[in-house]
Amino acid sequence: MAATKPGHRGSLFEADHRYKYLDPLVTVFVVVLLISNIVGQKISAFGPLRVSGAQLLFPITYIFGDIFTEVYGYAASRKAIWIGFFASLLLSVMSIICVKLPAAPEWPNQQAFATVFYTVPRLVAASLLAYWCGEFANSYTLAKLKLVTKGKHLWTRTIGSTIVGQAIDSTVVMFVAFYGMVPVNTILRLIISGYLAKVLYETVMTPATYAAVNFLKRKEQVDYFDSDTDFNPFASAAVESKQQA
């Protein structure tokens, strides 16, 4: 690795021109997140299994979170999480508004449009809150585990952070969305089944995560250790950490 680069302070959403791949990766992360929100209503059948469109893509956002934190540090992951949060919020709000706007008499697709894009506000709140809590828990756990493992055994961090982050994400989204509407034991079954599937997904994708992390560390000449980082999710800038020589 190259020598340690100086720390950087600035706006949470300021572009970091030291790195070639960070901003393109954040863009792809946000695109994947928005697509998963749009296609999530589709339920597919694979024998007895039922899988939503979101389950095919949303776990990838946790892999991106692992990559951001492992390579660039918690501050970079925090920026990506907030950009994704506001992008998802804008998508949800505009979807609700556009569905509620009166359709032109000659336009025959109002019902189809509403079926695809309308989301109950309670589900929007559940999804956004779960995303925020889960992603920050995932990044925080990975950053701390990197210090504990001294940068070794990447798999312990990618899988360990997913175990924590997805547990929080799955629990929050199901209880906020469905508590009082369906029995608690049904909510618990939904949490457990979704959680196990997401952790398994992350485990299977570990070789791809290794490849991406190693490529980026080599190309960007960076490997952050968040020993002095401010982990406050609302901080506008992080005290950047040491990098591995």
Q: What is the mean pLDDT of residues 189-202?
A: 88
- Burial label for 185, CB within 10 Å (0-12, 13-18, 19+), is exposed
The residue type found at 85 is F
**What's the domain range around 82?**
22-224
Identify whether 239 is part of a domain.
no
**Quick one: which of 66, 70, 75, 84 has its CA closest to 26?**
84
What pLDDT shows up at residue 238? 40
* Domain assignment of residue 243, yes or no: no
Average pLDDT, integer, range 95-121: 91
Task: Show the tokens assigned to 221.
Answer: 């000449």
User: Which of 8-12, 41-45, 116-120, 161-165 has the largest mean confidence?
Assistant: 161-165
Mean pLDDT of 15-21: 76
What three-state secondary structure class fits 52?
strand
**Could you give the C-alpha distances from 239 to 9, 141, 164, 187, 217, in angstroms and in order?**
7, 18, 24, 40, 20
How buried is residue 239: exposed, middle or buried, by Cβ count under 10 Å (0-12/13-18/19+)? middle
Of the candidates 243, 245, 233, 244, the one whose C-alpha atom is nearest the C-alpha of residue 77 is 233
Q: Residue 11: pLDDT band by 50, 70, 90 thresholds? A: very low
With a cut of 50, say whether residue 134 has pLDDT above it: yes
Q: Strands, DSSP E only, in 8-159?
A: 43-46, 49-52
Summary mean pLDDT of the chain: 86
Q: Which of 15-19, 125-129, 167-171 has the lowest mean pLDDT?
A: 15-19
Q: CA-CA distance, 27 to 217, in Å (whole number)?
A: 19
**Residue 28 contacts residue 87 (beta carbons within 8 Å):** no
Averaged pLDDT for residues 162-187: 91
**Distance in angstroms (rounded) separating the CA atoms of residues 43 and 198:** 16
The predicted model gives 123-134 an average pLDDT of 92
Q: Is 157 part of any domain?
A: yes
Lowest-confidence segment of 61-65, 100-104, 148-152, 241-245 by average pLDDT:
241-245
The answer to whether position 232 is within a domain reads no
Q: How much is the pLDDT for 82?
A: 96
Residue 17: predicted pLDDT:
62
Within a domain: 211: yes
The answer to whether residue 54 sits within a structural domain is yes
- For residue 181, the 8-state DSSP code is T
d(CA 72, CA 15): 13
Q: What is the CATH number of the domain that holds 74?
A: 1.10.1760
pLDDT score, position 2: 36
Residue 236 lies in a domain: no
Residue 16 maps to a domain: no
pLDDT band at residue 236 using 50, 70 and 90 as cut-offs:
low
The predicted pLDDT at position 156 comes to 96
pLDDT of res. 42 = 77
Please state the domain count of the chain: 1
7 or 31: which leads in pLDDT: 31
Instruction: Give the pair of three-digit tokens for residue 98.
Output: 């556009």
In this predicted structure, what is the pLDDT of residue 148?
96
